[in-house]
Amino acid sequence: MTITPDPAQSWACLVGVSTYPKDDGLDDLPAVRNNIDALREILTDPLGTGLPDEHCVIIENPANVQELALQVEDVARKATDMFLLYFAGHGLIDPNVDGRLYLATSHALQDRPHFTSLAYDDVRRAMLSSVARNKVVVLDCCFSGLAHGTMAGNAAQVAGQLDIRGSCVLTATKSNQLAKAPTEAVFTAFTGQLVDVLRSGVTGGPELIDVTMLHEQLLYRLRSAGLPEPRISGTDTIGRLSLAINASWRPADAAKDPINFADTNEVYRIGAHLERKDDTAMAERVYRRALAAGNLDAMLMLGRLNEERGNGVRAERWYRESAGRAQPKGMGQLGRFFYIQGAFDEAELWFRKAAEAGELHVAELLGDLLTRRGATDEAQHWYRTAIRGGRTRGMIGLGTLLEQQGDLEAAIAWYGRAADAGDPEGWTCLGLLAASDEGLQEEAEGWLGKAVAAGEPRALVDRGIRHLGRNEQAAAVRCFRAAAEAGSNDGMVRLGQQLNEAGDTAEVLGEAMHWFQRAAKNGEGQAMVELGKMYQRFGDDSTAEDWYRRGLRVNVAIGMPPLLKLLVGRGDRNEAERVCRTYAEAGDIVGMAALAIFLESQGQEAEAKRWQARAEAASPRPGPAPSGS
């Protein structure tokens, strides 16, 4: 008979160590962070173990051995039904002293684990101090130092240390094997399979996944993949302890599922409907059922859902899982996620992978990013790749790049091709370009009028700006709102600015913040700065600083001035100088100029002049006038 833990009386403690001293030979294990988040998600899922959120305690990168031991023991003593302890990181042995197993902390030293790592004997004491009826220890580590790409070790003598009365101990390997931690994988090898079994279930298996079945599945999967085989030891009836509902189980007389979980469009339609009704919990269940049925697109739905919830760690993990399964859409979404965070190197890496895998809309995004980074020749290549696939946005991107380079004739040709192909943004680009020529105002108005009539966001923003120039604020707000509702970040920011300036009620200010937040989620740096200004206005300087720093990462020219003003205003001149120097020394022109101004204000004129000269030398020089101008 399977034993089901009582969530109200059960606790879990998840310990993950992903970073180690750089000079001690222990490689970082970035996948451990994903291990911890995925297991927490399963353990607190009502369809998993069902623990309350507060009953799943996370300890990441502990440095102090004594504090770690006390934390584990404190959690163990709270449990009366089940206590689960999970550790992922490096395992060490001190062969010169006692040959005992140690769990490496983030400050571990390989040659002195007895002082810098948690002795497994202390883990045993913590487990024995618990009155929980069922105790589970899961160790994703080996028993010695690191070999490249692995958590390595070998120590048969420690196997006997693992036994704890009334408990089960599950380890990633036998005592004489290496635990695999592939450097680019989302999870370590053992925990990756552990997560998959608990999350997706076992086809043809019983309703509940107990410890014994879990080990059997792990043994079969890891052995089949040629990976180290896990080991289990236990006492009493612990093997019958259930850890999750089998996501693949169906009663023999069950009616046919009302949803075709293999159909991505159907799953998305139903999930989106539930999200619109604010039933995100049920939407998540639908996506999870689809994933258990083998629908990998559900990973992207779960990533987006968590991104909307503000859980960036979990969103990134789902996108990484999708990308790690060689899903081009996942690569593109991961690139977009990093772009929004201002992590442009990572964004370019994943955009490139997705574009090379045939994602044409990502090829356009890669072109935009490369243009921004000054790699214009390669940007043209990716725009043309998208164009060959029939993408009009590639035509717009290429036309914009050529316009910036002064080749107006070619730019006009590409804008015209986009318009002829039915993309109203082509009319907008033609209209804005013509508007800069006094002799083409009538043509400009005609093109922009067509674009506005088609609801093209950039044209609506331009029309709104013109209304503002004539003090027609109500008409401007209507245009900005239409652009915002069509998905324009610029429209969202401008609408938010108008509402914020006119905001004399909490409702209006709330709507302004709503639009800034929507644009910020899309990676719009100006929206981040506007949010910072609002929070600073409300007296919340800490949140304001956070938004300014986020805006700074996306766009230095936008984010640096308000951040420096806030820092100097509160007297933190050292931090203001540090921010300027960080960007100046990285070669950023705005950073150099800002540092020069700051140093001059501090009376350091000689150094200020040097940085000003460097900024001027690095600034782009005006090119020759375009032919025919």
Burial call 492-519: b when 16+ CB within 10 Å, e when fewer: bbbbbbbbbeebeeeeebebbbebbbbb
Q: Report the alpha-carbon distance of residue 303 to residue 325 in Å, rounded.
A: 14
pLDDT tens-digit series, residues 276-327: 999 998 999 899 989 988 899 999 999 999 998 889 989 999 999 999 889 9
What are the CB-based long-range contacts (under 8 Å, 24+) for 622-628?
Answer: 623/406, 624/406, 625/406, 626/406, 626/407, 626/408, 628/408, 628/409
pLDDT at residue 568, as a whole number: 93
326: left (phi over 0), alpha (psi -120 to 50) or beta: left
Find where tokens 């509902």 sit: 245
CA gyration radius, the chain: 29
Report the SS3 class of residue 170.
strand
Q: Report the alpha-carbon distance of residue 41 to residue 317 in Å, rounded.
A: 11
pLDDT at residue 252, as a whole number: 66
Find where tokens 């004594």 sit: 66
Q: Which 3-state string (H, E, C) describes 400-430?
A: HHHHHCCCHHHHHHHHHHHHHCCCHHHHHHH
Cβ proximity of 553 and 529 under 8 Å: no
Tokens of 30: 């970035």
Q: Report the alpha-carbon distance of residue 477 to residue 467 in Å, rounded.
A: 9
Q: Report the alpha-carbon distance of residue 599 to residue 607 in Å, rounded.
A: 7
| Contacts of residue 579, Cβ cutoff 8 Å, sequence gap at least 6 | 552, 560, 563, 564, 567
Tokens of 121: 């004997």
Q: Report the alpha-carbon distance of residue 137 to residue 234 in Å, rounded.
A: 10
Residue 228's Cβ-count burial label (10 Å; 0-12, 13-18, 19+) is buried
The ranges assigned to domains in the chain are: 7-245, 572-621
| pTM given for the model | 0.78
CB atoms within 10 A of CB 277: 10
| Contacts of residue 467, Cβ cutoff 8 Å, sequence gap at least 6 | 473, 475, 476, 479
Q: Report the alpha-carbon distance of residue 248 to residue 168 in Å, rounded.
A: 25
Q: Report the alpha-carbon distance of residue 116 to residue 477 in Å, rounded.
A: 61
Q: In 179-326, which residue ranges form alpha helices assigned H by DSSP?
A: 189-200, 211-224, 264-276, 280-292, 298-308, 312-324
pLDDT at residue 258, as a whole number: 80
Report the SS3 class of residue 481.
helix
Concatenating the DSSP letter of every residue in 425-461 gives HHHHHHHHHHHTSGGGHHHHHHHHHHHHHTT-HHHHH
Cβ proximity of 25 and 109 under 8 Å: no
Q: Report the alpha-carbon distance of residue 307 to residue 311 in Å, rounded.
A: 6
Find where tokens 């001690």 sit: 24
| Domain 7-245 listed as CATH 3.40.50.1460 | yes
Q: Report the alpha-carbon distance of residue 400 to residue 72 in Å, rounded.
A: 58
Q: Which 3-state string (H, E, C) describes 561-611?
A: HHHHHHHHHCCCHHHHHHHHHHHHHCCCHHHHHHHHHHHHHCCCHHHHHHH
Concatenating the DSSP letter of every residue in 21-86 gives -TTTT----THHHHHHHHHHHHHTSTTTT---GGGEEEEES---HHHHHHHHHHHHHH-SSEEEEE
Q: Report the alpha-carbon distance of residue 129 to residue 302 in Å, rounded.
A: 39
Ranges in the chain, pLDDT < 50: 144-163, 176, 178, 622-629
pLDDT at residue 92, as a whole number: 85
pLDDT at residue 327, as a whole number: 94
Q: Report the alpha-carbon distance of residue 286 to residue 267 in Å, rounded.
A: 7
pLDDT at residue 363, as a whole number: 98
Distance of CA 381 to the CA centre of its chain: 28
Tokens of 554: 């996306």
Q: In 279-391, which residue ranges form alpha helices assigned H by DSSP?
A: 280-292, 298-308, 312-324, 328-341, 344-356, 360-372, 376-388
**Sheet strands side by side (includes 11-16):** 56-60, 11-16, 82-88, 134-140, 167-171, 231-234
